[in-house]
Copies of this chain bind each other. A is one copy, B any other.
Amino acid sequence: MELVKIYECLCDPTRLRLLNVLAQGPVCVCHFQDVLGEPQVKISKHLAYLRERGLVESERQGNWVIYELAAKPSRELQANLACLQECAQRIPVFKRDLARLKKIEPSCAWVRAGDPGKAPGQCRCG
């Protein structure tokens, strides 16, 4: 059942935080590390988990890999992500993450603008 696959993706706190951040738009891995404050392996593995199950998609830009929510989510996925969004609004961890994201955002605006031409020689995240 596809629904079960979705819920399996949602039953880990790190993945919920990743998805919450991604709801704001595309983000590169180094951002995630800074925003969540979790080690690289952990972030990378959970993103892979989400990618294999079709919740997110990734695209390489030079040294960095940009993740974003699936372009064509199923109805079920859409509904559940919306539900998560609604719940997350009231939960401290998620709010904190978004706050930290906002702080970092300006330095890497090119990622969210999807303008690889502006990509710098070094990642200025963090």
Contacts and interface: CB of A to CB of B under 8 A. Distances in A.
A41 interface: no
Contacts of A10: 3-4, 7, 10-11
Contact of A79 (B8, B13, B75, B86): B86
A87 interface: yes
| Assembly stoichiometry (copies) | 2
Name the residue in A1, A12, A75 with the highest tally of chain B Cβ atoms < 10 Å from its Cβ. Answer: A1
Given A4-B11, A4-B13, A10-B7, A79 B83 contact: yes
Interface residues of A, number: 22
Nearest to A84: B3
A90 interface: yes
Contact of A91 (B1, B7, B8): B1
Contacts of A84: 3
A33 interface: no
Nearest to A10: B7
Contacts of A93: 1
Interface string A73-92: 00110011011101100110
